[in-house]
């Protein structure tokens, strides 16, 4: 019986990883880069991964709907991800998603001199991020 349950769990996990859409973009050159990935299903954001490098330093912000470290809320086309300190606000307008980091803890997400973007814009059909 336990073998059957494991197979069902494995199949469910595989189907979850293929569901929806994964938007990815990059910006910058060399040692100064930003990358963003959004997991989306039925126009609803399910996951966020942001990584930046500034020389030897980096920042990393990751969240997945239902994880233990974040609280998610949706209001129309705006998704807010609350961390212990600060938030990520994601706004959808057509094929474009704008991610803003609001009062996000630099010390928790970045190395000493890491640079956290204030705003990242990602659009369907483009692999380039617009960073502000």
For residues 119 and 104, the answer to whether their CB atoms sit within 8 Å is no
- pLDDT, position 19: 61
Q: How far apart are CA 96 and CA 92, in angstroms?
A: 6
pLDDT band at 13 (very low <50, low <70, confident <90, very high): very low
86-124 exposure pattern, b = at least 16 Cβ within 10 A, e = fewer: bbbebebeeeebbbbbeebebeebbbeebbbbeebbbbe
Tokens of 94: 């057509």
Give the mean pLDDT of the chain.
87
Closest CA to 50 of 85, 7, 101, 107: 101
Q: Average pLDDT, stretch 46-71? A: 96
Is 6's pLDDT higher than 50?
A: no
Is 9's pLDDT higher than 80?
A: no
Please tell me which residue, 92 or 9, carries the higher pLDDT value.
92
- pLDDT, position 17: 46
Sign for the pseudo-dihedral over CA of 11, 81, 27, 98: positive
pLDDT tens digits for 59-96? 999 999 999 999 999 999 999 999 999 999 999 999 99
pLDDT tens digits for 112-129? 888 899 999 999 999 999
């Amino acid at each position: 019986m336990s073998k059957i349950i494991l197979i069902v769990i494995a199949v469910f996990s595989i189907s979850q990883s293929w569901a929806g859409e994964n938007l990815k973009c990059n910006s910058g050159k060399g040692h100064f880069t930003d990358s963003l990935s959004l997991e989306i299903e039925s126009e609803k954001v399910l996951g966020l991964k942001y990584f930046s490098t500034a020389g030897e330093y980096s920042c990393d912000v990751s969240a997945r709907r239902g994880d233990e470290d974040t609280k998610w809320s949706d209001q129309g086309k705006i998704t807010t991800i609350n961390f212990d300190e600060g938030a990520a606000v994601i706004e959808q307008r057509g094929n474009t998603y704008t991610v803003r980091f609001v009062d996000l803890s630099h010390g928790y997400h970045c190395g000493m001199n890491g640079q956290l973007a204030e705003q990242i814009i990602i659009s369907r059909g483009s692999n380039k991020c617009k960073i502000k």
